[in-house]
Chains A and B, each alone.
Chain A
Amino acid sequence: MHGSAVRLGMTSSVKFTRRAVPYLLVLPSVILALWIIGYPILDVANMSLHAVNRFGQFKGFAGFDNFSHLVKEPLFSGCLFRTLLWTVSVVGGTVVLSMPIALILNENFGGRRIARIIIMLPWAVSLTMSGIVWRWALDGQSGMFNATLFSFGIIHQPIAWLATAGTAFPVEIAIGILVSIPFSVTVYLGGLSSFPEEIFEAAKIDGASAWQQWRYLTLPLLRPFINIVLVLNTIYVFNSFPLIWVMTQGDPANSTDIFVTWLYKLAFRYGKLDVAAALSLVMFLILLSFTIVYSALAMREDKEAAESPDASAPARAGT
C-alpha cells in the first residue's frame, strides 16, 4: 500500500514533468518574443497617448489628442487611400504574375537553373539599391528607360517618369511588383515541387487539359502557399519604405506619399513623435486586423474543404 502510493506519486509527477517540458522549453523564446515585440508596441502606445516633444521628452498625458490631430491632418486621407492602393496593387500584381513564372520554372527545360537564378537575383539586391538604380534609369534627361523606348520608336519625347503624379505612382507600383516577385516565386516553387507526380499523370490519362489540370489540381493544392504569399507580401508591402523614399520621397506634392513615408516625415523631419506614434499604432492595427481576418477566412475554407469530401463524392461519381 505504502509502496504503491509512492509509485503513484512518482508517475503523476513524471506525467506533470512530461507535460511541462515542452512549455518550459519554449518559455525562453516566448519571453524573448514578448520582450522584443511587446515592449516596442507598448512603448509606442504609451507615446501615442502623451504629448512628446521632438527630443522624445514626455510632456504630460494627452488622451486621444494625437489621434484626433492625426485624422485632422490634411494628408491623412490621401495617404490612407494611396497606402491601400499601393498594397492591393503590388500584392495583387505579385500574386498573379508570380504564378506563370513559377509554373514555367517548374517545367523541365535546358537552362532552367540559370533562369531560376536570374529570377531570384533581384532578391539579393537591397531595396535601396534597386530604388537608386531605377531612379537613375527613369531619369527624364539621361535615363536608360527613355533611351530604350526611344530606340524602339515608342516615344518621341523624353518622359520624366518620376516628376508627375500621373506617372510616378504607377511606375513605383510596377517596380514594387518587380521586386516582390522573387520571394513569391520561391514560395510557389516550393509548393509545386512538393506535389506528387501521380495525380497529374492520372489526370492526364483521364484526358484533363492543361488548363483543367491547373484549375482543378495545381490551384487548389497551391492554396496554402498562395495564402502565405498573400499575407507575408501584404505585411512587407504595406510597410515598405525604401523604394518610394529613394525614388520620390513622396514627391511631387505628396502624390506618392504612403503611410510609412509620411510617418518618417512626421517623426524625423517635423519632430512630431507623438503624432507619429499614433500613426504607427493605426498602421499596426490595420495590419493586425487584416492578418487576423484573412487567417480566419483561410482557416474556415480549409475546414470546409476538409469536411466536404462527401459532398463532392456524388459529383465525382456522376462524371
Chain B
Amino acid sequence: MRKGLTILVGVTTVAFAIASAEAKSQLRVVVGYYSAATQGIFEGMAKDFNAANPDADIKVEVVEWDNLQQRLTTDIAGGTAPDIAMIGTRWLVDFVKNDIAEPLDSYITPDVKARFMENFMAPSTINGKLYGLPVAASARAMYYNKDLLARAGIKDPPENWDTLVADAKKIKALGSDIYGFALQGKEIETDAYWYYSLWTHGGELIEGGKSGVASAGAIEALALYRSLIDQGLTEPDPTGYNRQDIERLFKQGRIGMILTGPWLRGQMKTDAPDLSYGIAPIPAGSTKATYGVTDDLMVFKSSQQKKLAWRFLTEAAFAPKWRIEFTTKEGFLPVTKVEAEQPQFVNDPQLKAFTEMLPYAHFAPPVPNWEQMADATIRALQKVYTGEAKPDAALKEAASSIDSILQQQ
C-alpha cells in the first residue's frame, strides 16, 4: 500500500515537473553547503526572483562542499550540468581549460563591476577574462587564547615568529596537556597551514613556471615548524590532527595560538562560549602574509539560459539585500562594497583583524591540477613532521614532482 502510494506520488511529481518545465524557463543552481543557513538564503533569492519574473523557475540545490567538485564533474561528464554553480575559485582553471565555464565579460556592465572589491575579482580572471563572481571570501588569521597568554605573563599576541616561539615556550610551561602552537598535520588544507609560514618567509608557491616549495624561504619555513615540534611547542604527533582536531583542542582551552579562518568565530559562540580569545594577524617573518580564499558563482557554457542566469546573479544573488544577509549569516568577509559599509562589519574588531590582512593576501596559484600538487606538498610536510625526512630533502622531492606535473600541461 505504502509502496503504491510512493510510486503514485512519484509519478505525479514527475508529471507536474514536466508540465511546469514546459511552461516556465527553469534555471538550475547548485550551491555549496556552508552552514544550516545556506539553503534558506538561496531559497530566499530564488523566491524573490521567481516573484519578479513569473516565467522563470529557479531550482536551488545545496550540496556538501566535500562532494561538490565530484558532483559537478559527474554532471558535466553526463551532460546534465546545472546552469549556475558555486565553485572553489581555484577549480576555475580546470573548468576554463576544458571549455566548460562561460566568460562573463560580455554580460558584465561597469555598474555591476563597481559593486565588487577589486582584489576579490582578480582570482576569477583567467587569461584576461572574467569567469566567475566572488560569492564568499575569507582570509586567515591567528586566534589566541587570552587566558593562557595572561597566565603565561604575555601581554600582547606575538607579531612575528621569533616572539611566537618564545611565547609558546612560556605557554608550554603552564602544564603538560597545554600546547603553545597548534600545527595541523593531516587532511584538507594541511599544505595551507604551512603556506602561512612559507609566504611570511618570502617564499612563493610557483616562481617563473616552476615550483617554489624548495626555495630557501620555504626550507626555512618548514625548519621552523620542525623545530617547534622538536621543542615540544606543538601538540604531539601533529600528523594525527586535521583542521577540526586542532580547532577542537583550541576550543578545549589547550592551545595557545592557532592559525585559521573566520568560521571558527561562529563555532566558538556555540562550542566554547566562555573561552576568551582574540584574533591577530598571522605572525610575520621577513614579510607579512595571509591566505586569501574565494568561492565563485559561475555560469556553464552548456546552459541554454545564460541571459536568465546572469539576471539571476545580478538581480538576486548579488543584490545588496542578499549579499548582506549571506555575509552576516555565514560569517565571511565582505566581497561587495555595500556590505563593507554596513555598521555590523565596520564596527566588528575581530573582523577587522581579517580585513586588515587582505592587502597581504596570497591566493592559490591559478594552475591546473592544483590538488595533485597540494598532495605532493602534504606528503613532504608529513615526512618532516613524522621525522622521516629532513626539510630540504623532502621539499626538493616535492618540488621536482610538482615541476613534472606543471610540465604535463
Give A residues with C-beta under 8 Å from B. 53-57, 74, 139-141, 158, 160, 162-165, 248-249, 251-254, 265, 268-272
Contact = CB atoms under 8 A, between A and B. Distances in A.
A268 B73 contact: yes
Contacts of A252: 185-186, 239, 382-383, 385-386
Contacts of A55: 73, 76-77, 98, 100
B162 interface: no
B371 A269 contact: yes
A54 B70 CA distance: 10
Nearest to B67: A268
B153 interface: no
Contact of A54 (B98, B240, B379): B98
8 closest A-B pairs by beta carbon, nearest first, are A56-B77, A163-B240, A160-B237, A160-B240, A163-B237, A253-B382, A252-B382, A252-B239
A251 B186 contact: yes
Interface in B228-261: 235-241, 249
A140 B237 CA distance: 8
A158 B236 CA distance: 9
Q: Which of B69, B100, B240 has the most CB of A within 10 A?
A: B240
Contacts of A53: 98
Interface in B152-187: 185-187
A204 B378 CA distance: 63
A164 B388 CA distance: 10
B383 to A, nearest CB: 5
A139 B249 CA distance: 13
Given A165-B386, A253-B379, A253-B388, A54 B236 contact: no
Contacts of A253: 379-380, 382-383, 386, 388
A56 B98 CA distance: 11
A44 to B, nearest CB: 14
Nearest to A166: B386
B369 interface: yes
A164 B379 contact: no
Given A163-B240, A165-B388, A271-B369, A251 B98 contact: no
Interface residues of B, number: 34
Contacts of A271: 73, 94, 369, 371
Contact of A164 (B73, B74, B237): B237
Interface of B: 69-70, 73-74, 76-78, 94, 98, 100, 185-187, 235-241, 249, 369, 371-372, 375, 378-380, 382-383, 385-386, 388, 401
A163 B386 contact: yes
B187 A249 contact: yes
Chain B, interface SS category: helix
B155 to A, nearest CB: 30
16 contacts: A54-B98, A55-B73, A56-B74, A74-B401, A158-B236, A163-B241, A165-B388, A251-B186, A252-B186, A252-B382, A253-B382, A253-B383, A269-B375, A270-B371, A270-B372, A271-B73
A74 B402 CA distance: 12
Contacts of B236: 140, 158, 160
B29 to A, nearest CB: 19
Given A57-B98, A162-B240, A268 B70 contact: yes
A27 B98 CA distance: 43
A164 B386 contact: yes
Contact of B73 (A54, A74, A254): A54
B80 to A, nearest CB: 12
A164 B100 contact: no
A194 B305 CA distance: 67
Given A163-B185, A253-B383, A268-B73, 16 more contacts: A54-B73, A55-B100, A56-B73, A56-B78, A141-B235, A163-B238, A164-B237, A165-B388, A251-B382, A252-B186, A252-B386, A253-B380, A254-B379, A268-B70, A269-B371, A270-B375
B368 to A, nearest CB: 9
A254 B74 CA distance: 26
B237 A270 contact: no
Contacts of B185: 163, 252
Contacts of A54: 73, 94, 98
A287 B186 CA distance: 31
Contacts of B382: 251-253
Contacts of A248: 186
A280 B98 CA distance: 24
A48 B69 CA distance: 22
Contacts of A268: 69-70, 73
Contact of A270 (B74, B369, B386): B369
A139 B235 CA distance: 13
A83 to B, nearest CB: 18
A164 B375 contact: no
B177 to A, nearest CB: 8
Contacts of A254: 379
Contacts of B379: 253-254
Contacts of A158: 236
A272 B408 CA distance: 12
A140 B254 CA distance: 14
B76 A141 contact: no
B73 A139 contact: no
Contacts of B78: 56
A140 B386 contact: no
B20 to A, nearest CB: 29
A253 B98 CA distance: 31
A251 B187 contact: yes
B376 to A, nearest CB: 9
A140 B249 CA distance: 12
Contacts of B94: 54, 271
